[in-house]
Structure 1
């Protein structure tokens, strides 16, 4: 082959390479949709946390019912959940205590 023919082949290959590089650049720029592989792991969404009920909230509700003349019933609820006074009751019972207190006086 002649030197000219070899040089023309190199020029042709360089043009082809330039076209390929341009196509890659366009894809990277977002001009063409790119097929992406979906991740195989699933992302767990955090569960919504329940609002923590505080001792002060329970105390306020119990005081309200006690002032309404339901002191004996309030004491029974506290005893039901394992305490002789509110501060002795485990905080895990606060939600149930509030439910019980809500029905006091509505019966």
Structure 2
């Protein structure tokens, strides 16, 4: 993954964390301010991670391929029913990246 896309993902995660902290602080302030209401605190909508893009997935797979794991990358694509990345269903990008992360990581 390129440094810019990693940075963009990190910034988005920080923003999501900041929003969650703000919500928690507001809830605690209301809870301990003595201004209790009969209504239950409103549950915020769950924060959704932004959908992965073809370019983000391509960046990770190209790094693995350049590191000498081209055959393993091809096997992964076939696992998801494709001969090339553009044929992979975008709903499988996250799982594909999880699988790709272990390529080359001997444990």
TM-score for the superposition, normalised by structure 1: 0.59
- How far is the alpha carbon of 1:42 from its aligned partner? 6.7
The DSSP-based 3-state class of the residue aligned with 1:95 is: helix
The DSSP-based 3-state class of the residue aligned with 2:60 is: helix
What is the match of residue 81 of structure 1?
Answer: 80
Give 5+ residue unaligned stretches, structure 1: 1-36
- Equivalent residue pairs, number: 72
Q: Greater Rg, structure 1 or structure 2?
A: 1
The DSSP-based 3-state class of the residue aligned with 1:61 is: helix
Runs of 4+ displaced beyond 2 Å: 41-44
In 2, the alpha carbon distance for the partners of 1:95 and 1:60 equals 13
What is the match of residue 95 of structure 1?
Answer: 94
In 2, the alpha carbon distance for the partners of 1:42 and 1:68 equals 51
What is the match of residue 15 of structure 1?
Answer: none
Give 5+ residue unaligned stretches, structure 2: 1-36
- How far is the alpha carbon of 1:43 from its aligned partner? 3.7
